[in-house]
């Protein structure tokens, strides 16, 4: 299986669950003589998420990956899956000869 970035996984999840695509915002903070970078992610006015860490300027994409991971894990734990992305719901009920 090919590697899929957290950003791609989040985009696919949003598509499958009819959630508008995320908007990434890169933010900076000057610390001493250096600048640290992080990322915020929003879905219009509905949800805003923040990356867990601050990164060096060469690793800004890591900030986007971080916030995409945070967001996707939140959604997977709190939003019911759409029928297209949920496992089959059919089940077989076994019956026994002895009743209660």
| Residues sharing a CB contact under 8 Å with residue 56, sequence separation 6 or more, in sequence order | 34, 36, 37
Q: Please report the pLDDT score of residue 53 as a whole number.
A: 97
Q: What is the predicted pLDDT for the residue at 86? A: 46
| CATH numbers and ranges of domains, the chain | 6-78 (3.30.160.20)
Cα-based torsion angle of the residue sequence 12, 56, 38, 14 in order, rounded to the nearest 10 degrees: 0
* pLDDT confidence of residue 100: 37
pLDDT at residue number 92 = 36
- Report the pLDDT value the prediction gives residue 47, as an integer from 0 to 100: 76
pLDDT score of 88: 42
pLDDT along the chain (100 residues), means of 10: 92 92 94 93 86 95 97 88 47 39
């Amino acid at each position: 299986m090919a590697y899929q970035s957290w950003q791609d996984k989040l985009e696919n999840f949003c598509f499958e669950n009819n959630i508008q695509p995320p908007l990434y915002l890169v933010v900076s903070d000057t610390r001493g003589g250096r600048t640290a970078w992080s990322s915020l992610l929003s879905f219009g006015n509905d949800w805003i998420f923040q990356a867990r860490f601050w990164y060096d300027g060469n690793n800004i994409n890591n900030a986007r990956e971080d916030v995409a991971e945070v967001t996707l894990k939140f959604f997977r734990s709190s939003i019911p899956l759409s029928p297209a992305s949920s496992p089959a719901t059919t089940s077989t009920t076994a019956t026994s000869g002895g009743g209660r």
